[in-house]
Amino acid sequence: MRITTIMRPNIVSQAGVSTRLNQWWENIPFLTSAVVVVCGIIYVVCLLVGYDSFTEVCFLPSAVISRFQVYRIYTSIIFHSSLLHVFFNMTALIPMGSELERIMGSVRLLYVTILLATSNAILHVLIALLVAHNPIHPYENLMYECAIGFSGVLFSMIVIETSLSGVQSRSVFGLFNVPAKWYAFLLLIVFQLLMQNVSLLGHLCGILSGFAYTHGLFNFLIPRTSFYSSIESSSWLSSCVRRPKFIVCTGGNPSGYIPTRTSENSTSSGILPGNIWRNLSSLMPQRQVSARPNEDSRFPGRGRTLGASQGQMASHLHSDSNVHARLLDNSSPNHPLDSSTLSTNRQLSGGRHSADNVPTATAVVPPPQGAIASEEGIKKLVSMGFDRTQVEVALAAAEGDVNVAVEILMSQQD
């Protein structure tokens, strides 16, 4: 007896090209995709209007020094000379920029990109001046070379990404492996040999800036996490922060992934960079940030163990709700929280507080700060564009933690 079966097509394999491209594009973080769009639009506009000289926007050391045209530092990185130029640069940016943005956050990566572009230009000018005025064999051509393209910043990102990955060796186009510290220099030589009109000095300065960043030479220029958080919590950026592709700098400890200050508690005078960033961030509405020692800053939020039984999950939810009810009942000044309730709540909230600060069983402590939704926290979230009723519910569910409330509100919008 023959049995006829009907094979259903695989929805994933039958997905159209447009669907696959849309899924691929949605996986690219906010800033990386924005840079790709901006560079692409600028090239198309230049192509349509017939603008191809680039002498007014390229990085020209002589013009920067003699006419102080500092704008060239930033216009030169978003203009490209040909279709292949912009295509190769953007296809190289997407994987590296996406990885760095997921680690740093969108606002932090924007600041780092501007910092790298600026340092690249400064090194470019200094080296061109030294070569042009050296007493042995002056060479002034570097002062009049017109450089454009995002590749200088890309070489800096290559150095940073290689340092963050922690690998000892990297593959060059799948042909052979080289030590990781020499990877960027080898790419510089290969591109110089295989391509024409490539800016050797521009790429070299990108590599030098990347090494300076990874070795902490720019630490005095890197603001603290509260500076980025204050920018993200500002009302003028709320529409961008609510987008699913935007990566928020959550305030976790990033010292394992990017260079930071060696001493966060060191005192400084009013003219030092530490106070400068603190004063700048104080001009913006700041977000309350709770330290989470056990949380990886690259993957914020609470996690569950895979394979847990439904009974265990139900018991955890039941006990969590009981603790929340006791917290609400005991939140008045006449009914302070006992230590057992506070300790249980800390265990259920994923280790949000340090274990060294847990009181003994006989101690009586006041309710933790931020356990109740404050009017200030409600106003901050409402200023970000969320509905007040949803904000109050989210803050109550997050025990007054503004960061957790933002995660809840954004997950509801998704």
Alpha carbons 61 and 70: distance in angstroms, whole number: 10
153 C-beta neighbours (distance < 10 Å), count: 25
Q: Label residue 292 left, alpha or beta by phi (over 0 means left) and psi (-120 to 50 means alpha).
A: beta
Determine which one of 80, 124, 203, 353 is catalytic.
203
Alpha carbons 299 and 60: distance in angstroms, whole number: 42
Cα dihedral 161/167/169/171 (nearest 10): -60
Quote the tokens at residue 307: 């394979």
**Strand ranges inside 260-344, DSSP E:** none
Alpha carbons 116 and 212: distance in angstroms, whole number: 10
Which parts of 105-182 fold into alpha helices (H)?
A: 106-132, 151-165
Quote the tokens at residue 109: 């990566």
Residue 273: partners with Cβ closer than 8 Å, 6 or more residues away: 220, 221, 223
**Strand ranges inside 95-242, DSSP E:** 169-172, 176-179
Name the residue with tokens 């800016």. Answer: 199
**Strand ranges inside 173-237, DSSP E:** 176-179
Determine which one of 76, 98, 151, 297 is catalytic.
151
Name the residue with tokens 């990297």. Answer: 170
If you ran DSSP here, which 8-state letter would residue 169 be given? E
Instruction: Tell me if residue 383 is catalytic.
Output: no
Instruction: Tell me if residue 151 is catalytic.
Output: yes
Specify whether the CB–CB gap between 318 and 267 falls below 8 A.
Answer: no
Catalytically annotated residues = 151, 203
